[in-house]
Amino acid sequence: PCRDSLDAVRRRDAELTKPPGSLGRLEEIAEWLAAWQGRAEPKIERPLVAVFAGNHGVTAKGVSAFPAAVTRQMLDNFTAGGAAINQICKAHGIGLKVFELALEHPTRDFTEAPAMEEREAAGTLVYGMEAVDGGIDLLAPGEMGIGNTSAAAAIYAALYGGPAARWTGRGTGLDDEGLARKNAVIDAALAFHAGHLSDPLEILRRLGGREIAGMMGAMLAARRNRVPVLLDGYVACAAAALLHAMSPDAIAHCLAGHVSAEGAHRDVLERLGKKPLLDLGMRLGEGSGAALAIGLVKAALACHSGMATFASAGVSGKDG
């Protein structure tokens, strides 16, 4: 983070026509943008939601309430502008890019084999870095992939300890029987891969999915390119958690956009040291929670940049 830019924002904030601290986390947001963009006058001119989509072999085990074909159908829906994330991006003036990750080649069923080869995982991670191309100044990585809450839950259990039930949720809408099946499937995977789950990149390869690898790449590239990142929910944070396990500093540029209603996301955010901006009971993915939070970020920046100072507005100061 850029200390000079942070200090500049704090100095200006102290002069704005409001009691010190009265904008709460909006002030924190302005500081975060400045520190990570490395600009004394932070800007958001090209915010982007980057949605990574992949398919999961483990769906064969009945871990989702929706059929695997929905991943492709929803990508077509994104292209046609009909999904929730399209509406939120339009409402808040956010760009949207979709990264389709070999949908015709689902990952392998992770109860029977590693989900990916090493070069698949690594190649997808590198491909995800392209999300920061084009001069974007704020990034929200999102995802689509039927079955991917199972991959995320498996990753959390591997990183933080099991059993699966400690981390899972109902995903797109499992009933009790479906949830029990999902837990059993993930516990079986954890047993199958036992002894090989100490390294975060190996956890990604064995239990993850392409969209999780892609989001990791996007977050890493953003860290290097001075692009602040807003974290989305339960699945997006599996990518953040893997990076965090490699080095907490790898996600220092990330702010949590929202806390999901899915699974143990609140617990995950606490482990990552991130306090969510929004808590609205959402559990959709697609980057939808982070995109909503971009509305807050834009308003926070508008306040910081556009407000008058006590001097310019002729307003008396505190105890004045």
Q: Is 286 a catalytic residue?
A: yes
By CB under 8 A, is residue 316 in contact with its own copies?
yes
Task: Rank residues 126 and 261 by Cβ distance to its own copies and give the closer one.
Answer: 261
> From the CB of 122, what's the least distance to its own copies, in Å?
32
Selected from 6, 9, 26, 129, the binder of its own copies by CB under 8 A is 26
As measured in angstroms, the least distance from the Cβ of 312 to its own copies is 7
Q: What are phi and psi of 294, to 5 degrees?
A: -60, -30
CB nearer to its own copies: give 23 or 35: 23
Cα 290 to Cα 11, 108, 236, 284, 295: the distances in Å are: 28, 29, 10, 11, 9
Q: Is the dihedral of CA 217, 218, 224, 228 positive or negative?
A: negative
Q: Is the peptide bond before 163 cis (omega within 30 degrees of 0)?
A: yes
Q: What residues are paired with 229 via a beta bridge?
A: 139, 254
How far out from the chain centre does Cα 230 lie? 6
Q: Which residue stretch of 11-19, 34-42, 97-105, 118-126 sits at the interface with its own copies (rule: CB under 8 A)?
A: 11-19
Stretch that binds its own copies, among 79-87, 101-109, 158-166, 197-205 (CB under 8 A): 79-87
Contacting residue, 30, 222, 284, 290, with its own copies by CB under 8 A: 284
Q: Does 303 bind its own copies (CB under 8 A)?
A: yes
Interface size with its own copies, residues (CB under 8 A): 64
**Looking at beta carbons only, is 90 or 224 nearer to its own copies?**
90
Tokens 């259990």 sit on residue = 157
For residue 170, the minimal CB distance to its own copies (Å) is 9
Q: How many other CB atoms are there within 10 angstroms of residue 70's CB atom?
A: 18
Label each residue of 1-50 as H, E or C. CCHHHHHHHHHHHHHECCCCCCCCHHHHHHHHHHHHHCCCCCCCCCEEEE
Which of 129/278 has CB closer to its own copies?
278
Q: Which residues are catalytic?
A: 286
